Amino acid sequence: MKRIHLFEFEDQEWFPKFLRNYMTDFLQFLSNKAKIYSPIIPLLTETLQSNQIDTIVDLASGGGGGLLSLNKELKKHIPDLKILLTDYYPNIPAFKRTKSLSNNFEYIKNPVDARNVSKNLKGFRSMFLSFHHFRPHDAKKILQNAIDCKMGIGVFEVQDRSMASIIGMLLSPLSVILTTPFIRPFKISRIFFTYLIPIVPLCVLWDGLVSCFRTYSSTEMESLVNTLENKGSFNWKIGSKKEKATKVLYLVGTPKKQ
């Protein structure tokens, strides 16, 4: 199935901020409860330890994704781990809540463009469920910027262009309806736009389906890497890890040791 880059509501500047936040809140809640990144914990731990890195700069964080559950596992091996949350459309309430639940989180209030990250933001760059938002020329900029800044980067996606993934996304409105009462902080408006006027579940459905069609395959990620300048200065790992029903596609690049 060919990659198709349709639009997602979450990416649109005109899309109301509070609705975008409700969508990313849902993704954060589900990601942490389902522990969807469990398959790549050994890979990420080994990458950080072997490169003596104790800081993750998370790009396009949304609401923080599954980083809370992932953080608990990583800290078992990297006690001094710090995680910095950033986004072009930062969900500040979600960032504040994440920080309140684990004090090794920090966040940046201002927009951070994953395609042009400042060299001053030092640490291993991560992108969870977000790389697919970028067209190939922008995805290439993200990877090239990491090389130019000599910062490691990891891209992780849990959906793909398979029928199983598409069917899973078709069930996402039901997940939104079942989980919304448990998402904190509790908001009447979240209830209103989930149950009375179901904008949130419908937008989650659309964006979820589009995410499947947008996601880069391992072969396509390899092709992106092959177009980069000075790609040989990095070690690259591209593939997938599976644990039970969860599969995570990954691309990890780290500077070669001098």
The helix/strand/coil state of 147 is helix
Nearest CA among 136, 142, 130 for reference residue 211 = 130
pLDDT at 245: 81
- Looking at every residue in the chain, the average pLDDT score rounds to 95
Q: What is the pLDDT of residues 111-148, one digit of tens each?
A: 999 999 999 999 999 999 999 999 999 999 999 999 99
H-only helix segments in 15-110: 17-34, 41-50, 67-74, 92-101
For tokens 């109301």, the residue is 16
* 207: enclosing H helix or E strand: helix 199-214
Euclidean distance between CA atoms 234 and 254, whole angstroms: 5
- The secondary structure of residue 247, as a DSSP letter, is E
* 206: enclosing H helix or E strand: helix 199-214
Domains and CATH numbers, the chain: 28-163+215-255 (3.40.50.150)
Mean per-residue pLDDT, 209-227? 97
CB atoms within 10 A of CB 183: 19
pLDDT band of residue 258 (cuts 50, 70, 90) is: confident
Euclidean distance between CA atoms 25 and 91, whole angstroms: 9
Q: Is the model's pLDDT at 1 over the cut of 80?
A: no
Q: Are strands 153-157 and 105-107 parallel, antiparallel or unpaired?
A: unpaired
Give 108's contacts (C-beta < 8 A, 6+ positions apart).
Answer: 84, 85, 86, 90
Euclidean distance between CA atoms 46 and 53, whole angstroms: 10
Q: What is the pLDDT of residues 20-41, one digit of tens each?
A: 999 999 999 999 899 899 999 9
Under 8 Å between Cβ of 200 and 19: yes
CB atoms within 10 A of CB 226: 9
Nearest CA among 1, 47, 40 for reference residue 158 = 40
Provide the whole-model pTM. 0.94
Calculate what percentage of the chain has a pLDDT beyond 70.
100
Q: What is the pLDDT of residues 176-186, one digit of tens each?
A: 999 999 998 89
Euclidean distance between CA atoms 103 and 112, whole angstroms: 21
